Structure 1
Amino acid sequence: MKLVGIAGSIADQSYNRTLLKFIAKRFEGLVDIEVLDINDVPVFNQDDDQTNCAAIQNLCKKIEGADGVIIATPEHNHTVPAALKNVIEWLSYEVHPFDAKPVMIVGASYHTQGSSRAQLHLRQILEAPGVNAIVLPGNEFLLGDVKNAFDENGDLKDQRTVDFLQSTLQNFIRFAKVINMIGQTTDYEEEDLSAKNGTDTTVQGVDMNADDWLDQAAKKVNAVEGDSYVKLDSGLLTVDQLNYFLKTIPIELTYVDENNQFIYYNDFLPTEKMLAKRTPAQVGDALDKVHPQISSVLKHVKQVINTLRTGKTDLVSMPVPGNDEKTHVVHYYKAMHDEAGNYKGVNEWAVDIKPIVDEYLRETGQKLVNDPNARVDAITGASENPEVDTTTGASDTLQKIAKPEVKIDTTSSASKH
């Protein structure tokens, strides 16, 4: 993967440039990073358009040609430096290389906050109309007391800080591969999230967005319940038994039909405890109702649904941004088909695989160790294409990608310097 790095300072002695150069040197086995120079960028002035000057054109081409961008920002008066804001002004005026580009933010400062306020502002700037970058949610690397953080060779001294930086970079590599993959989808715009077309199993005459859709629809079709038997391909169960079975499977299951209607989830946990939060009132809703009404969110939903519908891949898998040493939540999406091969919707399951891995290690007496030569592969599951969690509006993962929540990391060693 090819990344470019931008330091938000034009000072001769820039610790943020030193940080970027360290990342490029230390993790060259994971990723190829080119650190760009912003020293020659002119002061932004709409009345004197210099978009075509060499400095701006070079930045634009380098960013467009990269798989992602790492921006290292100092903190000046509780915000980003003027030099960095100036660069973003030029790159969101007549040219827009940040549009849909994955961006990771890091930062170093003299004080203990580690540029936290500048990083918060930078996220907001990068998500502004005209910039439209897609910023890695969470995973913030905040390097404080930077004068004492590096040795004479420009290397970070503290190993815990280096380890946390590596985990953050690995998360960004996964994130960037996902974002770039869905951005390559070109035939998604006609994907209808309103579920207005219906399908042969759509319950007619009932408002699908009604909070009590389940009760109304069940009454409309005389749905069986209780101790009525249902003949399945490989079993005979009552409706009660089927519910017992599904609600005790220790993963979160969701069904979205081929009409993009959210019609089922196994309600085995309170909403606030779920990995992908869902509510009974959402059952029956069209996907454009259960997702936030944000264009970037809906765009990515369409892209991924269309990827599954058209058979570009039949399995979507993605680790959730923000995983740490205690959890590793993964969302999987499987395209469903009938006996004739016709697309019949999406089967989603969300699971924290960390307890499963821990149990395996305990039972076998093995342990996980870091492989310093490993190249991080963002592709999980059987799919050859890395994907993103966007199938149900009940899940908030995509919203975090398109409109990430900013959470300052106070647990990493980087924030303790």
Structure 2
Amino acid sequence: MDGGVGTRSRAAALLLVCAVVAVALNQRPAVVAVAPVLGDLRADTGLSSALGGLLTTLPVLCFGAFAPVAPRLARRIGLELAVAVSLLLLAAGIALRLFPPVALLYAGSLLAGAAIALANVLMPAYVKREVSRPGAVMGVYSASLNIGAAVGAAATVPLATAFGWDWRVALGSWLCLALAALALWLPVAGTGHARRAARGDVPGGGSWVLLRQPLARQVTAFIGLQSVQFYSVAAWLPTLLADSGVPVSRGGLLLGLANLVGAAGALLAPAQAGRMRTQRPLVLAVGLAYLVGLGGLLLAPGTATTVWVCAFGLAQGSGFALALTLIVLRSPTPLTAARLGGVAQCLGYLLAAAGPLVLGWLHDLTGGWAWPVGLLLVLLGPMTWAGWGAARDAVVRTEEEPALSPG
């Protein structure tokens, strides 16, 4: 593929990877930083539990709702500029949270969620275009997503305590990271690739037309069902462990540990996927890791808890990274990857947003965690089935490519 990292100087290639990492590090802190300060936030604003919870759910809904906008934006102004726009919107959303009216708190969360939705779709397409063998770079990108989430959750309160910040400044402190990423992205992105995305780069037809093909539906189902696993457990794991006798403080640390183990899985899975003609063994490995983690949390949550949490962390990190990599590998062109990513992430994140609600409802209905965790175990079946189909050696058709061609 022309314009890959291999055609750049070593320094330019390193700077490009650094820019990709900088963008990835920004795609979770603005969302996960809310939960640690939610108590102070509610005490200061008087928000109810439901309205406070909406601040953490709203960005995930935006991930789905705004994902289809990304390929249209990339087609109009180009991938590089579209990513820059997403960083500007993210910075604006974070900045809005610094101002007193509660309405601006929600507006900032909405804007930040929309910005992250754009970057979620655009970055895999950009990597596909700029890197001839995208597996390793997708691994670094996916691992950076996990690291950003872990740092955002773990560092927000300690930073606020160390510097005497209130919750608004604590949330606003992540503005510095967004501006730093933008400063790095602008001079680096596309330096080895003269061609910019234009209308001619995008196959005709809408993104949703792709769902007529089984392969596109399987990619969409895999990313959606594994996202349900992650967001459901991330929302309820500390509570589940606390109900099993694990101290609340340790539950939070274990959730952080899951993210760190997930970063390792996210780094390794895409690199391995890029070397394989079919990624089906990786799909089975992800399913097995989920089975061990969820099975342990169902049968013995208070015993060998660290093992179950690490297994789940490995599954969610490698599973999400594999899902993003499958979008790249199953697409014949970079902006087809943007189209497929927009559709898959739209439906996937909207489905994922329902996961915590359904698990909470089941818990209230049954008074325990057996049925909620059991439901997640049952969903491993269709998730693995979808992944098995999505991992086959093929690419989605476009109007210019009337038949499935080898990946």
Do they superpose with TM above 0.5?
A: no
Structure with greater strand share of residues = 1
Q: How high is the TM-score relative to the length of structure 2?
A: 0.31
Structure with greater helix share of residues = 2
